[in-house]
Homo-oligomer: A and B are copies of this chain.
Amino acid sequence: MGKSQLFFAEQNCGIIYYRLECGEKVLYNLVTRMIGNTLQLGLAGLGTVGSGVYETLCRNYKLLEARAQIPFAVKKIAVGNLARKRDIEVDPALLTDDWRELVEDPEIDIIIELIGGTNEAYKLVKAALEAGKPVVTGNKAVLAEYGCELFQLSAEKGTPLYFEASCGGGIPIVQSLQNSLICNKVEYIAGIINGTSNYILTSMKEKGMPFRDALEEAQRLGFAEADPSFDINGWDAAHKALILAMLAYGTPLNTDKIAVYGIERVESIDFKLADQLGYTIKLLVVIKHHADKDSLELRVQPSFVPKEYLLAKVDGVFNAIAVKGDIVGESIFYGRGAGKNPTASAVIGDIVLAMRECRLADYHTGFQPYTKELSVVPMGETVTPYYVRFRVQDRPGVIAAIASKFAKYDVDISATTSTNESVDENGVRRNHLVFMVHACKWVRLKYVLRELADNEYIDRHPAVFRIENFND
């Protein structure tokens, strides 16, 4: 350990906990005395979340030990590159660059998968379950893609798979659905579960920024990645939605089953108009059970949300998930949906659960997505009210042309409004016409829009948002 200095050492229930100070940095370590009862963890991945987990396990070890009353230690850590410089220092003796060592080590009881990506992570989770080792993962992509297979394997092997950190970061939605809310038929889940897009939409709302500027600012401040595609195109939220839907309804799903629209085409003018009309715009995940056909509606879309609804008030990087159960009514869970520490908090909650349940031969989480095949409602059949904004040339007959198409397909307009005209770069007078549409099937509105697409006085791409009203 070179010049490092022993800071304090303490023996507690078979664990020696010590902390070493080396210059500016703090070297945390947990060493077990290898007594029989101590549970050994194998941590795969030491990126942002992995180092958050390791750091927190060390920092709050005494608290965890007192609360969980189970002695534990991190026995091995698999990393991609042994030589890489890290923000936290870790005893090099713990490190390996082969995750198979974790799975094959007979002394390791629980595997924590935080390597990200889908290929290696999938292999690791599968190998661990096959070896009968409970797995804790925060990997939404793996679960959205291979969830059914992995949960089936988990059940076959009687080996649990924990995934609180895969949806909603620090928000305890998975355990709540599995435990506290277990007696509820879930009527719907609606959520804001992508912090980056919520941050961008909040900037657009509050500062009147256009999408591109808001995205750039988010990148500058570290709230959006260099390649933010997955966050802004809705797919990060969609992965989480699939996991929540599989959990709540026990049905196999995959990425083909969900309709996904991102926030790239949301314009400042829609925020202004939404505000005037009593709404705000949120990238909303909607999972709704249709009891009549026992089928699921599954979609991610920027949506109009009434200002007085609590989800409308969830701003910045915060996430929130509303669950309507037949017994409990509506519950909403709000918190940090991403980031090193909030995600680490969720991972560690699962680790403790895994440690407790390690002592049960046949623990059952109630998560069996492969047991019941629910159909998915085709998007065309889904029903909501809509906001439709057309940019048009300001000339006689345009409103009539639009209104007649709505009438043709029996789409009922509840209100209309228009903006002041302005003159565009070609000297043409233009304005925006907004139609608020009563709840109707999407397919009917689609026919209307298709027929209007060839009208020379109407811009080709109207802005269309679903209006989501939730009543409890």
Contact = CB atoms under 8 A, between A and B. Distances in A.
Given A69-B366, A185-B60, A310-B313, A170 B345 contact: no
Contacts of A366: 66-69
A59 B341 CA distance: 40
Copy count, this protein chain: 2
A356 B359 CA distance: 12
A341 B327 contact: yes
29 contacts: A60-B183, A60-B185, A60-B326, A63-B183, A66-B250, A66-B366, A67-B182, A68-B366, A171-B331, A172-B181, A175-B175, A175-B176, A175-B180, A179-B349, A179-B352, A180-B346, A182-B352, A183-B352, A313-B313, A327-B344, A327-B348, A328-B335, A328-B342, A329-B341, A331-B333, A332-B333, A332-B334, A333-B334, A360-B360
Given A172-B179, A182-B68, A336 B345 contact: no
Contact of A336 (B326, B329, B333): B329
A247 to B, nearest CB: 10
A361 to B, nearest CB: 8
A64 interface: yes
B180 A331 contact: no
A364 interface: yes
A164 interface: yes
A363 B67 CA distance: 11
Given A327-B60, A328-B342, A363 B352 contact: no
B349 A68 contact: no
B313 A327 contact: no
Nearest to A363: B356
